[in-house]
Structure 1
Amino acid sequence: MDDVPETTSSPTPSPEEIAELRRTAVDLAETAAAHVRARRPEVFGPAAAADDAVRTKGHPTDPVTVVDTETEELIRKLLAQQRPGDAILGEEGGGHLDVDSDTITWVVDPIDGTVNFLYGLPGYAVSVAAMRGGRSLAGAVVDVARSATYSAGLGLGALRVDGDGGVEHLRCAPVTELSLSLVATGFAYGTDRRARQAAMVADLLPRVRDIRRLGAAALDLCHVAAGRVDAYYEHGLNAWDFAAGALIAAEAGAHLVLPAATAPGAAGELVIAAAPGIAAELGKLLTEIGATESLPDR
């Protein structure tokens, strides 16, 4: 598998630089997660679900909350203080990822899994990654409800740190049979794309142990890294969905298929992360059922 787009020839960062970027990503993500954790009961508690707290984006089923916006603004403010020369690409505030530049770009998803957040379901995260030349150098994903931080640095491995301080060095599951694998996926908001994804699940389900749809791409990628699922695939992700999680999965040994970080999610390209023992077989099956074709959003 390992179909990761080539990047431009940026200078190779030192391990010390990568470690510092990782520390910054963890600090930003954990600070933002604390804000999200505090704000959810305030905004969406039993007596506080204000009508103006939620709006929609490209599709009626694709929500963004006031907390998404607040959280990205917080991260941008902290970055302006800590690393004023760096660029930022955020899901809510936009920005530009220049793959021909040596500038560090921080790629931010303030709440990945907003629908889960909106409904009070566990399974939403803050995702922060440092990219240069279209390549992730460091990243952190915080599972907000569980107070667990996943992080990685390029060439430095991947970790999960629990709220109580317990540390887990992440490795993919040792599974070698696709028929015994647990596969996670996600669904788009566009009606036609969702219908095609449903048909693919119907083809895939008899060939694997089971399917999970957890609702947060960044966490799905971290679950592959931790061996909590064996593989994950989804169409139509943007860079902020996978920039941190894909690096964490790769540093844990996952085989990856990724679009270019500049590819718009609306183009519907495929992301795959799989434990190495099933990566080739899964890739072959996804090709067989037509899942490796892009699914434009409409």
Structure 2
Amino acid sequence: MTGYADDLALAHLLADAADAVSTARFRALDLRVEAKPDLTPVSDADTATERAIRTLLAEHRPTDGLLGEEYGAAPATGPDDRQWVVDPIDGTKNYIRGVPIWATLIALLEGGRPVVGLVSAPALGRRWWAARGAGAYAGPDAAGGVPIRVSGVTALADASFCYSSLDGWTANGRLDGMLGIMRDSWRSRAYGDFYGYMLLAEGALDVMVEPELSLWDVAALVPIVTEAGGTVTDLHGTPSPTVGTDADQSAVASNGALHADILARLGRPTAR
């Protein structure tokens, strides 16, 4: 195991606490849902889950920095450039409608780059995790994990292509490229959120793309996909996530073999 073994073990502990909170509120009749300033929904489960994670991090890693979707950033106070990045419930819209495809995302960044990632989807009974140099794994829990690997598909005509939605691609002028990929691929589905990336890491599909997301949406996914042998960049081919920012960014994830083709097909935006 690498030097991140203790951090990965802590990530599992954080996920255990998060799962206990989020699972208890899933499909609760008294679930409270509000709209944030950007008009995206937030439930009392989102905020309670993040508070549970913050409490444990304050106990176990008091000098590390922390960025959470619901409560913002707390700077590191120690000498190391370490920051935990948390999305307490990725897929809140699914969560509040009773759809079981949602997860807690937990990442550790060093120097702005993700080195540990864990995704826990308790309603699916599954987790995915990875640490830099240690491979990627999936299973019901830490004890039941097995190695995972991306597919060996080399042609788009044989590939399963995944995306979040078409709205953002219309807005950024790349809808024509997206539709071309969908026409030329063997199969296309919009699983959305974390799930497409995890299916990619397992080799169940071959490409996952999103036009706009935040650091907490992608940080935990990157180590899992890359340690499984895949590639994650933005639309310009720069490794994702963008270093040192929680601003909106894009993500193109693939098994590696298809990456250059997908980037070329999405290309530059067309005039609108």
User: What range is the shorter-chain TM-score in?
Assistant: 0.7 to 0.9
Provide, for residues 213-260 of structure 1, a one-character-per-residue CA deviation record: whole Å limited to 9, x for no partner: 2232x3322221111221111122111111111110000000221141
Q: Which runs of 5+ in 1 are unaligned?
A: 1-14, 292-298
Helix, strand or coil for the counterpart of 1:145? Answer: helix
| Number of the residue aligned with 1:95 | 73
Counterparts of 1:82 and 1:96 in 2: how far apart (Å)? 15
Structure 2 spans left out of the alignment, 5+ residues? 234-239
Equivalence for 1:224: 200
Which residue matches 1:211? 188
Is the Cα–Cα contact under 8 Å of residues 154 and 251 in structure 1 kept in the other structure? Answer: yes
Q: d(CA) in 2 for partners of 1:164 and 1:152?
A: 11
Contact 1:143 1:219 in 2 (8 A): no
Distance 1:163 1:89 in 2: 24
Tell me, yes or no, if structure 1 residue 270 matches structure 2 residue 250: yes
Give aligned pairs, total: 263
TM-score (norm. length: structure 2)? 0.87
TM, length-normalised to structure 1: 0.80
Alpha carbons 1:146, 1:163 under 8 Å: kept: no
2:33 corresponds, among 45, 51, 54, to: 54
2:12 corresponds to which residue? 26
* Counterpart position of 1:283: 263
Which structure carries more relative contact order (alpha carbon 8 Å, separation 6+)?
1
Distance 1:164 1:76, change over 3 A: closer
Provide the residue aligned with 2:21 in structure 1: 35
Give the share of equivalent positions with the same residue, in percent. 30
- Partner Cα separation in structure 1 for residue 251 and residue 75 of structure 2: 19
Return the alpha-carbon distance in structure 1 between the equivalents of residues 166 and 59 of structure 2. 36
Question: Is the counterpart of residue 125 in structure 1 residue 103 in structure 2?
Answer: yes
**1:201 offset after TM fit, Å?**
3.3
Change (3 A) 1:96 1:30: same
Note if 1:201 corresponds to 2:178: yes
Q: Which AA in structure 2 matches 1:202?
A: L
Q: Aligned pair in 2 of structure 1 residues 188, 179: CA closer, same or farther (>3 Å)?
A: closer
Matches within 5 A, 1:172-187: 172-187=150-165
Alpha-carbon separation, structure 2, partners of 1:36 and 1:120 = 12
Q: Within 5 Å, give how 1:229-240 maps onto structure 2.
A: 229-240=205-216
Aligned equivalents of 2:189, 2:145: Cα separation in 1: 25
Q: Is 1:249 aligned to 2:221, yes or no?
A: no
Please say if 1:109 is aligned against 2:87: yes
Give deviations 1:175-216, integer Å, cap 9, x for gaps.
1111121111124887973x8565543232111122222232
**1:133 positional shift:** 0.5
> Deviation of residue 81 (structure 1)?
1.1
The CA distance in 2 between the partners of 1:187 and 1:116, in whole Å, is 14
Letter in 2 for 1:249: V
* 1:168 Cα offset (Å): 2.4
The residue that corresponds to 2:237 in the other structure is none
CA RMSD of aligned residues (A): 2.6
